[in-house]
Amino acid sequence: MHNLRRFLTVSTSVLALAVLSGCPTPNPPASSNKVVVLGYNDLGMHCMNEDFSEIMILPPYNTLHAQVIERRGEEPRILQSGVTVSYTIPGNTTSSDKTNFWDYVEDLFGVSVDPDVGLTGNGLSGTMVPTGTNDWVATGIPVTPVMDNDDLNPYPLATITVNRSGEDVATTQAVVPVSWEISCNLCHATDASDGQADASVAMDILTDHDRLHSTTLASQTPVACMECHAQAPLGTTGDPSLSHAMHGAHASRMAAANLQVDCYACHPGQVTQCLRDVHYANGMTCVDCHGDMTDVADPSRQPWADEPRCDDCHNKSGFEFEQPGTLYRDSKGHHGVHCAACHGSPHAITPSVEDADNVQAIALQGHAGTIDTCTVCHTQRPDDHFDHRLDDDGDEDEDDKLLVSALQ
């Protein structure tokens, strides 16, 4: 079903081979820092509505992760306690003056949250909490794509800082991607071309829905699609899911948008270009990994869970990729380091054509792309070879480690 076959031969760069087989490579001088922090976003792009007065597909809700590693020789230690991890988004410090979300949050969710505070209680700066799976997280950050100086920027950089015993011991910058470029207006118009003039694009959508499905949404604004359609990110149920409903119903309508990549009619977008990574640079588009609208609408797919996997295409020998049944974003490699810590967020697999995505790798190792420089985490280059896979004791049980080395 997916259009994978023509990508089956994935080559290996000479440089990567050199790194992995232990040939001397120009590692930058070891940093004197004792701790390193790597930041990444769970989705690679968060969509939100700009205006919540009529319809809501998705609220502002960005989820930022960080992995904190104490640099050591052979065995860097993944820190899950004993430090404070905080984040700020310089230049993007308010949201309630940029979207009317807070005017409608009570209608939409039945809860009231203070302006600039998101649905899980986090603001535009704050502290991260341990996930229990090797990293730290701040969920539901209500960031918008509008900077404080009014510039539109879907790739603002967060600063993440690690403090131990009152001293800042590590910092990094990671993108908090967000966009409201959802172009329903390419086809849903306010004119009377469909027999009815509507006051807004959202009203056209609601009146179409009412006419086709005998609902009365147009008189119930603001309408949250999640009230009746399952949306896993919002934890709601309801058949058909919004994903099945939207992709299925629109699959035969896409010609009207006349786009090179159909997906950009509703996903961000013609301007934002949320797919900006090494795959984009190699000429791939959404369809190469996800299939087309009909594939995404396949009733046997579970939305938000059955997604493409790196090992659909990559099969480098000796390497392991995602854990079985686990999304890329939740998977770990190399002794418990999260895949995204070394490779970046989904759709932003480094090197990215978007400079902001490359800032972290350049700061840590002097070049963009995969974190492939041992001394980012090890104080000196280990003698042993680089193991890409997660060990079965990936949860860092020190006692097991000692036992294993005693036996060797």
Give CA angle at 200 (304, 216), nearest 5°.
70
Round to whole Å and give the CA distance between 278 and 282. Answer: 6
Nearer to ligand HEC, 98 or 250 (CB): 250
| CB-CB neighbours of 31 under 10 Å | 14
Residue 130, Cβ density class (10 Å: 0-12 exposed, 13-18 middle, ≥19 buried):
middle
Nearer to ligand HEC, 164 or 388 (CB): 388
Taking the CA atoms of 122, 127, 131 and 136 in sequence, report the sign of the dihedral they define: positive
Nearer to ligand HEC, 123 or 154 (CB): 154
Q: Which of residues 326-345 bind ligand HEC (CB under 6 A)?
A: 327-329, 331-337, 339, 341-343
Q: Cβ 281 to ligand HEC, closest distance in Å?
A: 8
Q: Cβ 287 to ligand HEC, closest distance in Å?
A: 6
164 belongs to the binding site for ligand HEC (CB under 6 A): no
346 belongs to the binding site for ligand HEC (CB under 6 A): yes
User: Of 288, 354, 357, 379, which lies in the binding site for ligand HEC, with binding defined by CB under 6 A?
Assistant: 288
User: Of 282, 355, 366, 403, which lies in the binding site for ligand HEC, with binding defined by CB under 6 A?
Assistant: 282
198 belongs to the binding site for ligand HEC (CB under 6 A): no
Nearer to ligand HEC, 65 or 247 (CB): 247
* Backbone dihedral angles phi then psi of residue 132, each to the nearest 5 degrees: 85, -5
Round to whole Å and give the CA distance between 279 and 357. Answer: 14
225 belongs to the binding site for ligand HEC (CB under 6 A): yes
Q: Which of residues 5-34 bind ligand HEC (CB under 6 A)?
A: 7, 10-13, 16, 19
Nearer to ligand HEC, 91 or 315 (CB): 315
Round to whole Å and give the CA distance between 93 and 49. Answer: 19
Question: By CB under 6 A, how many residues form the interface with ligand HEC?
Answer: 114
Nearer to ligand HEC, 92 or 345 (CB): 345
79 belongs to the binding site for ligand HEC (CB under 6 A): no
Q: Which of residues 242-281 bind ligand HEC (CB under 6 A)?
A: 242-243, 245-250, 253-254, 256-257, 262-263, 265-267, 274-275, 278-279
Q: Which of residues 90-129 bind ligand HEC (CB under 6 A)?
A: none
Q: Which of residues 365-394 bind ligand HEC (CB under 6 A)?
A: 370-372, 374, 376-378, 382, 384, 386, 388
User: Of 35, 68, 138, 205, which lies in the binding site for ligand HEC, with binding defined by CB under 6 A?
Assistant: 205
Cα dihedral 52→53→57→58 (10° resolution): 20
Nearer to ligand HEC, 98 or 188 (CB): 188
Q: Cβ 150 to ligand HEC, closest distance in Å?
A: 25
User: Of 304, 367, 368, 395, which lies in the binding site for ligand HEC, with binding defined by CB under 6 A?
Assistant: 304
Closest residue by Cα to residue 209 from 183, 184, 236: 184
Closest residue by Cα to residue 223 from 126, 108, 139: 108
Closest residue by Cα to residue 179 from 282, 113, 275: 275
Residue 111, Cβ density class (10 Å: 0-12 exposed, 13-18 middle, ≥19 buried):
exposed
- Give the side-chain half-sphere CA count within 13 A for 131: 18
Round to whole Å and give the CA distance between 357 and 349. Answer: 9
Report the greatest alpha carbon distance in the chain: 79
Round to whole Å and give the CA distance between 142 and 285. Answer: 28
User: Of 293, 348, 359, 361, which lies in the binding site for ligand HEC, with binding defined by CB under 6 A?
Assistant: 293
User: Of 39, 59, 60, 76, which lies in the binding site for ligand HEC, with binding defined by CB under 6 A?
Assistant: 76
- Give the side-chain half-sphere CA count within 13 A for 315: 6
Round to whole Å and give the CA distance between 397 and 90. Answer: 37
Q: Which of residues 54-73 bind ligand HEC (CB under 6 A)?
A: 55, 57-58, 69
Q: Cβ 95 to ligand HEC, closest distance in Å?
A: 20
